[in-house]
């Protein structure tokens, strides 16, 4: 009798324990009305697992690990990133394990390895209950994969579903039902690959919308610099620097960060650009999605890493377009090359060369992160041959220094103090002090060697500053729960400093620009007048659209922020929603489909190749 009651006892014990940890350690609390449903479902899981188990003690270990993954794992992700574990996070697991080090790696890897190993070792079909449990598991799995609507429709009808607020979905439903429903939704919402008619119709609508904008990206570049430029394509070197977690901590007024962390030289340049910002697609991580936008000119709209499973084709992104114009296209990132599937993604976007961890001397380290100073110096040494020979270069750099938990070396002592109670605030402020200082050395060197080059620098996402946005909450920049964000908070949540320096003309004033509209602006600065995929994402009239998973917001002509969560929509939100639907169709066609909407043109006769001696 005791053995038959074991799943009941273990479920009760682990549920109570993990609920307390989730509530008091991570401030993530499943709502009281949802606890009975959640507990009973977890009890069913326990009895299924028990029926398939050979040894009791191993069952207890597996049950403890599985429930820990569901309840503590979700609480950790919510506290770090604002949302629970999603099915697509499974595909990001490899990259997560690659970036973790020391105890963090083992804390993530050991439970996963233990669950898989113990399940196999303890599997048993010695009793009729095991066959019944197997039948239930198999039927449920088939239903989730092939008939997800039979699960989603009744349960969503009863519990509701908020596409943009996954944290609320989690606390309303509990960990078990949430995991079941989102797994079914993952299979039910598979990307639709459009046929030729669907793709062309969406493309025509987008091009018509772009032409309707009286202030196109091309005229923006001229207007901002107040200087007309020649219409002939003029190759110039382009240096794009993605700055890991780069942001202005002086925004945290109540933290009293002293002195101002950003380099005075950077602040002077940034001021001359009107304190321009990028609107990025992510918060606190998933750098690859910001990369995709700045290189391919299309927005990321889902909570998944675009490089992993949604960039399947060779696509005419910015590197590909410039390579066709005899540019040398180079990507540099001093991390393991397979992180976020970058080897394949960079190749598909048109990079000819990818310098990764093994291509850089690890001579100036902040723990495992190569300093920005060393990275810039080594990249400039590597591309010096092309620069001296006059071959145009697309030099794309992804910095590594700046990752949480913001370590510094002995040669970089703390210079910045803060009164914040969140330890990450002071650590981050000191990190950004050195990042901005070392960045300006690079910018000055590039402008000295190549005064007409185009330089782009931007933060890929805001930094992690404590659980549940605590560093931001302290200064009322954000609230602890995304469901309580105001429209302005959503904008601040994804706004990072960005500079675009147009050669001798200096910084471009562009206000607050969605990151996916940067490639079009760069092509306009080169006077590139051929068709490109960036034409599809030209700004809508009088508004700029920043999609996020499950919602989007518009920055209107007067600077107001309009949040578009769910119908009924305002007129502006209706327009941007239809536009985003067409964007999704064309994006799926270009990056995963048959590329019916790929621009068709005859490339110009290529110039005579320039013989270069480029260091590798």
If asked whether residues 425 and 382 sit together in one domain, one would say yes
Residue after which a domain boundary falls, among 170, 188, 206: 188
Number of domains in the chain: 2
Phi, psi (deg, nearest 5) at residue 431: -65, -45
Q: pLDDT confidence of 61, banded at 50, 70, 90?
A: confident
Q: Is residue 515 part of a domain?
A: yes
If asked whether residues 180 and 206 sit together in one domain, one would say no
For residues 467 and 586, the model is more confident at 586
Mean pLDDT of 426-439: 97
pLDDT value of residue 167: 86
Of 42-51, 65-74, 100-109, 324-333, give the range with the top mean pLDDT. 324-333
If asked whether residues 130 and 244 sit together in one domain, one would say no
Q: Is residue 461 part of a domain?
A: yes
CA atoms within 13 A on the CB side of 25: 14
Residue after which a domain boundary falls, among 140, 160, 188: 188
Residue after which a domain boundary falls, among 142, 166, 188: 188
Write down the H helix ranges in 403-541. 423-449, 470-473, 487-493, 518-525
Identify the helix (H) or strand (E) that includes residue 355.
strand 353-355
pLDDT value of residue 609: 41
For the cut 50, the answer to whether the pLDDT of residue 564 exceeds it is yes
pLDDT value of residue 161: 83
From the centroid of its chain, how far is CA 114? 29
If asked whether residues 496 and 347 sit together in one domain, one would say yes
What is the pairing mode between strands 512-514 and 277-279?
A: parallel
Q: pLDDT confidence of 600, banded at 50, 70, 90?
A: confident
pLDDT value of residue 102: 60
pLDDT value of residue 166: 84
Phi, psi (deg, nearest 5) at residue 540: -70, 155
For the cut 80, the answer to whether the pLDDT of residue 124 exceeds it is no
pLDDT value of residue 522: 97
Query: What is 1-34 written as a DSSP string?
Result: -TTTTHHHHHHHHHHHHHHHHHHHHH-----GGG
From the centroid of its chain, how far is CA 366? 23
Q: What value does the mean pLDDT of the chain take?
A: 88
The Cα diameter of the chain in Å comes to 87
Q: What is the dihedral of CA 57, 62, 68, 74, to 10 degrees?
A: -170
pLDDT value of residue 83: 82
Q: Is residue 570 part of a domain?
A: yes
pLDDT value of residue 601: 56
pLDDT value of residue 219: 44
In tens, the pLDDT along 262-313 reads 999 999 999 999 999 999 999 988 999 999 999 999 999 988 889 888 899 9
Q: Is residue 603 part of a domain?
A: no
Phi, psi (deg, nearest 5) at residue 370: -65, 135
Place of tokens 């190993």: 117
What is the pairing mode between strands 369-370 and 454-459?
A: unpaired
Q: Is residue 602 part of a domain?
A: no
pLDDT value of residue 436: 97
pLDDT value of residue 413: 96
In tens, the pLDDT along 177-204 reads 999 998 888 887 777 899 999 999 999 9
The answer to whether 194 touches 206, Cβ cutoff 8 Å, is no
Q: Is residue 610 part of a domain?
A: no
If asked whether residues 266 and 360 sit together in one domain, one would say yes
Query: CA-to-CA distance for 442 and 479, rounded, in angstroms?
Result: 36
Query: CA-to-CA distance for 144 and 44, rounded, in angstroms?
Result: 17
Which tokens go with 181? 């429903």
If asked whether residues 367 and 228 sit together in one domain, one would say yes
If asked whether residues 159 and 229 sit together in one domain, one would say no
Mean pLDDT of 10-19: 93
Residue % of the chain over a pLDDT of 70: 89
Q: pLDDT confidence of 98, banded at 50, 70, 90?
A: low
Q: Is residue 605 part of a domain?
A: no
Domain range for 276: 196-591
If asked whether residues 300 and 159 sit together in one domain, one would say no
Tell me the three state secondary structure of residue 86.
Answer: coil
Which of 488, 536, 487, 496 is closest to 514 using CA atoms? 496
Which tokens go with 606? 């290529």
For the cut 90, the answer to whether the pLDDT of residue 76 exceeds it is no
pLDDT value of residue 538: 93
If asked whether residues 219 and 279 sit together in one domain, one would say yes
Compute and round to an integer the Cα radius of gyration of the chain: 26
Query: CA-to-CA distance for 172 and 219, rounded, in angstroms?
Result: 48
For the cut 70, the answer to whether the pLDDT of residue 469 exceeds it is yes
pLDDT value of residue 389: 87
Q: How many angstroms separate the Cα of 380 from the Cα of each of 69, 397, 454, 499, 502?
A: 45, 11, 15, 20, 19
Tell me the three state secondary structure of residue 544.
Answer: strand
Distance between terminal CA atoms of the chain?
71
Which tokens go with 392? 């145009």
Helix axes 571-591, 196-212, angle to 10 degrees: 130
Residue % of the chain over a pLDDT of 90: 61
Query: CA-to-CA distance for 516 and 292, rounded, in angstroms?
Result: 8
If asked whether residues 450 and 560 sit together in one domain, one would say yes
If asked whether residues 285 and 137 sit together in one domain, one would say no
Q: Is residue 83 part of a domain?
A: yes
Query: What is 546-578 written as a DSSP string?
Result: EEETTEEEEEETTS-EEEE-SSSPPHHHHHHHH
pLDDT value of residue 213: 58
For residues 340 and 126, the model is more confident at 340
Mean pLDDT of 464-480: 94
CATH number at residue 408: 3.40.720.10
Mean pLDDT of 238-265: 96
Of 49-53, 82-86, 224-228, 350-354, give the range with the top mean pLDDT. 350-354
Q: pLDDT confidence of 108, banded at 50, 70, 90?
A: low
pLDDT value of residue 92: 65
If asked whether residues 216 and 150 sit together in one domain, one would say no
**CB crowding 237-275: b at 16 or more within 10 Å, else e:** bbbbbbbbbbbbbbebeebebeeebbbeebbebbeebee
pLDDT value of residue 616: 31
Task: Among 314-318, 530-534, 604-608, name the one with the lowest average pLDDT.
Answer: 604-608
For the cut 90, the answer to whether the pLDDT of residue 106 exceeds it is no
Which of 279, 288, 317, 245 is closest to 510 using CA atoms? 279
């Amino acid at each position: 009798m005791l053995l038959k009651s074991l799943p009941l006892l273990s479920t009760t014990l682990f549920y109570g324990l993990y609920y307390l940890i989730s509530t008091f350690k991570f401030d993530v609390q499943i709502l009281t009305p949802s606890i009975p449903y959640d507990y009973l479902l977890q009890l069913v899981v326990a009895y299924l697992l028990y029926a398939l188990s050979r040894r009791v003690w191993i069952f207890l270990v597996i049950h403890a690990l599985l429930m820990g993954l569901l309840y503590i794992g979700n609480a950790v992700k919510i506290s770090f990133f604002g949302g629970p574990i999603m099915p697509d996070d499974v595909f990001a697991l490899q990259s997560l394990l690659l970036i973790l080090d020391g105890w963090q790696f083992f804390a993530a890897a050991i439970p996963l390895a233990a669950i898989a190993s113990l399940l196999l070792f303890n599997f048993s079909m010695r009793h009729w209950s095991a066959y019944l449990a197997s039948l239930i598991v198999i039927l449920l799995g088939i239903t989730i994969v092939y008939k997800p609507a039979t699960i989603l429709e009744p349960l969503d009808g009863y519990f509701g579903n908020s596409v943009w607020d996954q944290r609320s979905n989690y606390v309303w439903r509990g960990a078990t039902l949430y995991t079941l429903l989102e797994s079914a939704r993952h299979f039910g919402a598979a990307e639709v690959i459009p046929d030729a008619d669907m793709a062309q119709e969406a493309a025509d609508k987008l091009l018509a919308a772009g032409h309707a904008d009286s202030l196109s990206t091309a005229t923006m570049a001229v207007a901002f610099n107040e200087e007309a430029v020649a219409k002939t394509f003029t190759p110039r070197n382009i240096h794009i620097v993605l700055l890991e977690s780069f942001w202005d901590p002086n925004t945290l007024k109540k933290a009293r960060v002293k002195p101002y962390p950003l380099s005075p030289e950077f602040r002077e340049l940034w001021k001359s650009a009107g304190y321009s910002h990028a609107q990025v697609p992510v918060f606190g991580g998933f750098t690859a999605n910001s990369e995709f936008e700045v290189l391919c000119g299309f927005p990321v709209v889902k909570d998944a890493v675009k490089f992993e499973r949604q960039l399947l084709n060779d696509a005419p992104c910015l590197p590909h377009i410039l390579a066709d114009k005899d540019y040398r296209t180079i990507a540099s990132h001093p991390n393991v090359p397979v992180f976020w599937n970058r080897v394949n993604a960079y190749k598909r976007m048109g990079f000819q060369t990818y310098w990764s961890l093994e291509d850089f001397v690890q001579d100036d380290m902040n723990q495992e992160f190569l300093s920005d100073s060393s990275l810039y110096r080594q990249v400039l040494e590597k591309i010096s041959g092309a620069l001296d020979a006059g071959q145009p270069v697309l030099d794309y750099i992804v910095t590594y220094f700046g990752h949480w938990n913001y370590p510094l070396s002995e040669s970089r002592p703390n210079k910045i103090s803060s009164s914040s109670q969140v330890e990450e605030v002071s650590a981050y402020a000191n990190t950004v002090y050195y990042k901005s200082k070392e960045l300006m050395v690079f910018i000055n060197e590039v402008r000295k060697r190549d005064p007409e080059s185009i330089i782009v620098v931007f933060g890929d996402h805001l930094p992690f500053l404590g659980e549940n946005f605590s560093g931001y909450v302290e200064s009322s920049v954000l609230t602890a729960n995304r469901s309580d964000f105001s429209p302005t908070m959503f904008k601040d949540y994804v706004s990072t400093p960005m500079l675009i320096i147009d050669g001798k003309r200096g910084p471009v004033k562009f206000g607050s620009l969605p990151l996916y509209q940067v490639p079009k602006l760069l092509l306009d600065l080169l006077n590139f007048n051929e068709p490109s995929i960036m034409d599809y994402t030209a700004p809508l009239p009088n508004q700029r659209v920043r999609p996020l998973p499950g919602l989007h917001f518009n920055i209107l002509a007067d600077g107001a922020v309009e949040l578009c969560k769910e119908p009924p929509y305002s007129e502006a939100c209706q327009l941007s929603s239809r536009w985003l639907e067409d964007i999704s169709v064309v994006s799926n066609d270009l990056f995963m489909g048959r590329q019916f909407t790929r621009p068709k043109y005859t490339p110009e006769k290529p110039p005579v190749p320039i013989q270069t001696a480029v260091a590798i």
